[in-house]
Amino acid sequence: MTTYVDSSALIKLYVREADSADAAEILNADPVLVTSWLTHVEVRRNLARLLEGVTLRRAQEVFEHDLDCMAMVNPDERMWRAAADIAEHLGVRTLDAVHLGTAQHLRIPSLTFCTFDLRQGQAARQLGMHVLGC
């Protein structure tokens, strides 16, 4: 199995939120995690917004280690075009469309899309993806 991890799921590993335990269980269940480099930007931004001091530095260290264990995708032109189509047709937010377009163009038949963003999860289901989290 392979799980594409959205930023909304990954941030829950470093910042205690309502669904943090659920996110950890989902992500620990799959040894093959993949995400976009966009996740690097989104999670670092949110860590800096939500944490400070030693807690922030520790979360950043753990996050960077976790990314080293994931397959990181650099969206190519096909993925950007897919993201534009998804945003236009499904009305999702821009960054959500980038994640969806990236996951879609990985063309992994058994791919699971992990998100805790309800709108993004609905869009992923409309695209035929198996969704965990929300």
Model pLDDT for residues 59-114, shown as the tens digit of each residue = 999 999 999 999 999 999 999 999 999 999 999 999 999 999 999 999 998 999 99
32-54 pLDDT, tens digit each: 999 999 999 999 999 999 999 99
Q: Which CATH code, of 3.40.630.30, 3.40.50.300, 3.40.50.1010, 3.40.190.10, is assigned to 2-133? A: 3.40.50.1010
Global confidence as pTM:
0.94
User: Whole-angstrom Cα distance, residue 23 to residue 11?
Assistant: 9
User: Whole-angstrom Cα distance, residue 113 to residue 54?
Assistant: 32
The CA-atom distances, in angstroms, between 92 and each of 35, 51, 65 are: 18, 28, 30
pLDDT of residue 1: 85
pLDDT of residue 97: 98
Q: Please report, for the chain, the start and end positions of each structural domain, with discontinuous segments joined by +.
A: 2-133
Band of the pLDDT at 120, cuts 50, 70, 90?
A: very high
User: Whole-angstrom Cα distance, residue 6 to residue 99?
Assistant: 7
The set of residues, in sequence order, having a beta carbon less than 8 Å from that of 69 and lying 6+ positions away, is 33
